[in-house]
Amino acid sequence: MARRMAVSGLRQNNERAVLTVVASVPGSSAAQIARATGLGPQSVSRILGELENAGLIRRGEARKGQRGQPAVPIYMSPDGAYCVGCEVGWRHMHILIRNLGGEILGEHKRYYAYPDAEEILAEVVSLTKLLLGLVPQEHLGRVVGIGLAMPSGIARNANLVGAPEHVVSAWTNFDLAAELGTAIGQPLFVFNDGNAGCWAELAAWPAPRPANLAYLQVGTFLGAGLIADGRLWEGPTGNSANLGSMVVCDSAGNQQFAHLTASIMALEKRMAAAGQTLPTGRPASWDWDAMEPIVSDWLDEASVALAHVIINTSAVMEFGTAIVDGVMPRHIVERLVEKVRERIAVFPVLTSDKPTVVIGRLGADAPARGAALKPMFRRLFSRDSADLAD
């Protein structure tokens, strides 16, 4: 038997429907919002008044010179909400705070050899407090919380990036999210890093956005996310769409995880085999020309792996678009994307069309931005029953 939505849930649903229209079509009038949502003019007027009192929207100057009463354009208020987004990666950390208008008020990035749990906790706590200090005092009550994006296996696989035994052991029974939530005293939202990046890329896509897509980001390992019917497909644990764990064939014909083929880790192993070491710090700042021809060989193998992942995933979850991005400089990502397109063009398909491969818009910044964006969506825009308060 279907459960009827409580009155409070229905009210929230209608409020979020109105906010979604305002965010999607800035400058809409009350009449346009009513038509788009299917709500009555009086209901829209009441909801707009409540949203304005809450500081979530603002009214522009009335448009004169038209028939009837001048239309007043409605816009989102940038100061309506704030959220901290933090990505804790295998070899880097990126933390920022943004407002409802999408403005990044402050951010910090750091690169390290391996993730040290206690060190990361102390730094994230300190930086979060500094970033929250950028929010005007009168708007501190509008902070949604902290979005934390992390790889799902970082606590048990830190040894893969060379962390010493005592650092690996420190991750045992260490819950970074719980520790951070206790230390900061703000609501905490935890996401897989690939899912967070996927959501940020979807939000950055100009309207109309695709309802179904796959996202792949080449980083230390392979981050990934899936959008199905306009929703982020997170699965029962929030770590679904781990496409990097898909088995592919490497250049020698051996079965290998995509994580270890289409990743900076795979490039590092190639460099080591050639008696060279990978540069440290931000990959976008490396001298990639100096690493040739190893880079070209790596791009060839990575593109085959990514093409297999895209084709195989599209056979399970129908999507017409695959976003491929990476933490590398833009010209390297462009080379990779073009190679993936070439590989897919010659791959056989049985019953479906081949997805279109496009380059991402946000690069290495996507996970942290998504970590800040998704909590705002859940709190203010989502109409899923799980995100609506009773």
Using pLDDT thresholds of 50, 70 and 90, give the confidence band for residue 65.
low
* pLDDT at residue 228 in the model: 95
Report the CATH number that the domain containing residue 18 is assigned in CATH: 1.10.10.10
d(CA 235, CA 170): 28
Strands 356-359 and 321-326: parallel
The 10s digit of each residue's pLDDT in 271-315 is 999 999 999 999 999 999 999 999 999 999 999 999 999 999 999
Residue 187: closest CA among 309, 84, 329: 84
Cα–Cα dist 92/81, whole Å: 27
Statement to judge: residues 49 and 185 lie in one domain: no
Q: Which residues contact 293 (CB under 8 A, 6 or more apart)?
A: none
Check which CATH number belongs to the domain holding 322 and give it.
3.30.420.40
Percent of the chain topping pLDDT 70: 96
- Which of 104-108, 206-210, 364-368 is predicted least confidently? 206-210
In which domain, by residue range, is 128 found?
Answer: 79-196+368-387
What pLDDT is stored for residue 381 in this prediction? Answer: 94
Residue 1 falls inside a structural domain: no
Q: Is residue 2 part of a domain?
A: no
Query: What pLDDT was estimated at residue 1?
Result: 34
Residue 170 tokens read as: 């420190």
End of a domain among 44, 76, 108? 76
% of the chain beyond a pLDDT of 90: 82
What is the average pLDDT across 122-129?
Answer: 96
DSSP codes, 253-280? S-EEEGGGTSSHHHHHHHHHHTT--PPP
How many separate domains does the chain show?
3
CA distance 307 to 268: 21
Same domain membership, residue 260 and residue 146: no
- Residue 3 predicted with pLDDT over 90: no
- Residue identified by tokens 């199905």 is 228
What is the per-residue pLDDT for 235? 85
pLDDT band, very low/low/confident/very high, at 163 (cuts 50, 70, 90)? very high
Residue 63 has pLDDT above 90, yes or no: no
Same domain, 123 and 59: no
Is residue 112 within 8 A of residue 124, CB to CB? The reply is no
CA distance 200 to 232: 11
- What are the E-state strand segments in the chain? 57-59, 74-76, 82-88, 92-99, 104-111, 143-150, 188-192, 213-218, 222-228, 231-232, 247-249, 255-257, 321-326, 356-359
* R_g of the chain computed on alpha carbons: 23
* pLDDT at residue 104 tops 50: yes
Same domain, 306 and 323: yes
pTM metric for this prediction: 0.92
